[in-house]
Chain A
Amino acid sequence: MTAQIALIGNPNSGKTTMFNKLTGSSQRVGNWPGVTVERKEGRLKNNEDIVVVDLPGIYSMSPYSPEEIVSRDFLLNSKPDAVVNIVDASNLERNLYLTTQIIEIGIPTVIALNMMDVVSKKGVKIDVGRLSKALGCIIIETSALKGDGIEELTEAIVSLIGAEESSGLIYSEVLEGYISRMEETIQGKVPEELIRWYALKLLERDEKVKSDIGQDTWYRIEAIVSSMEERLDNDADGIIAEERYSRIEKIMSDAVDRGNVKIEEVPSDKIDRIVTSRWLGIPIFIMIMFAIYFVAIETVGGWGTNMLNEYISDTLMPAAKEWLVNAEVADWMVGLIVNGIIAGVGAVIGFLPQMIVLFLVLVLLEECGYMSRVAFIMDHIFRRFGLSGKSFISVLVGMGCGVPGIMASRSIEGKAERRITAMTVTFIPCSAKLPVIALIAGALFGQSAFVAVSVYAFGIISILTSGIILKKWKSLSGTPSPFIMELPPYHVPHALSVVRSTAERAWSFVRMAGTIVLLACVTVWFLSSFDWGLSMVDAGDSMLADMGNVLRWIFVPLGFGDDWQFATATLTGLVSKENIIGTMGVLFSSGGTGGEGLWDVVGSMLTQAGGYSFLLFNMMCAPCFAAIGAMRAELGSWKDTGKAVLYQCALAYTLSLVVYQFTTIFFGNGPEWWLVLAIAALAVSIYLIVAKEPFGFLRRGHDA
Chain B
Amino acid sequence: MLNAATLLVGLAVLAAVVLASYSVYRTVRRGGCGTCSKCSKCKDCQACGQCPKNEK
Contact = CB atoms under 8 A, between A and B. Distances in A.
A518 B47 contact: no
Interface string B2-42: 11011001100100110011011001100111111100000
Contact of B46 (A16, A39, A504, A516): A504
A508 B35 contact: yes
B13 A404 contact: no
Contacts of B10: 333
B47 A401 contact: yes
Interface residues of B, number: 33
Interface in A475-523: 504-505, 507-509, 511-512, 514-516, 518-519, 522
Nearest to B17: A522
Interface string A389-416: 0000000010011111101100000000
B37 A515 contact: no
B46 A505 contact: yes
Given A39-B55, A404-B48, A518-B20, A330 B37 contact: no
A404 B34 CA distance: 11
A25 interface: yes
Contact of A504 (B2, B28, B37, B55): B37
Contacts of B9: 324, 327, 329, 333, 337
A515 B52 contact: no
B23 A28 contact: no
A407 B54 CA distance: 13
Contacts of A576: 34
Given A328-B5, A518-B20, A627 B33 contact: yes
Given A41-B56, A515-B20, A518-B16, A330 B3 contact: yes
A81 interface: no
Nearest to B49: A28
A583 B6 CA distance: 24
A626 B46 CA distance: 15
Interface string A619-643: 0000010110110010000000000
Contacts of B45: 28, 404
Contacts of B16: 341, 518
Nearest to A340: B13
Contacts of B49: 16, 27-30, 35-36, 40, 404
A195 B41 CA distance: 43
B18 to A, nearest CB: 10
B35 A512 contact: yes
Nearest to B25: A515
B5 A327 contact: yes
Interface in A290-337: 324, 327-330, 333, 336-337
A522 B37 CA distance: 22
A329 B35 contact: no
B13 A522 contact: yes
Interface residues of A, number: 54
Given A36-B49, A39-B55, A508-B46, A404 B3 contact: no
B52 to A, nearest CB: 7
A633 B35 contact: no
A36 B54 CA distance: 11
A48 to B, nearest CB: 15
A404 B50 contact: yes
Nearest to A51: B56
A37 interface: yes
A627 B48 CA distance: 13
Nearest to A627: B33
A630 B20 contact: no
Contacts of B5: 324, 327-329
Contacts of A39: 54-55
A531 interface: no
B48 A407 contact: yes
Contact of A26 (B17, B34, B44): B44
A392 to B, nearest CB: 16
A36 B33 contact: no
A400 B48 contact: yes
Contacts of A408: 48, 50
Contact of B44 (A25, A35, A407, A629): A25
B37 A27 contact: no
A329 B6 contact: yes
B16 to A, nearest CB: 7
B2 to A, nearest CB: 7
B50 A515 contact: no
Residue of A397, A400, A508 ringed by the most chain B CB atoms within 10 A = A508
A38 B45 CA distance: 12
A518 B17 contact: yes
Interface of A: 16, 25-30, 35-41, 324, 327-330, 333, 336-337, 341, 397, 400-405, 407-408, 431-432, 504-505, 507-509, 511-512, 514-516, 518-519, 522, 576, 624, 626-627, 629-630, 633
Given A41-B56, A324-B5, A629-B31, 12 more contacts: A27-B44, A36-B49, A40-B54, A329-B6, A329-B9, A333-B13, A407-B52, A504-B37, A505-B47, A514-B20, A522-B17, A630-B33
Interface of B: 2-3, 5-6, 9-10, 13, 16-17, 20-21, 23-24, 27-28, 31-37, 44-50, 52, 54-56
Q: Which 4 A-B pairs have the closest CB atoms?
A: A404-B48, A28-B49, A403-B33, A401-B47
14 contacts: A26-B46, A28-B45, A37-B50, A40-B49, A41-B54, A327-B9, A341-B13, A401-B35, A403-B35, A504-B46, A508-B35, A512-B35, A516-B20, A626-B34
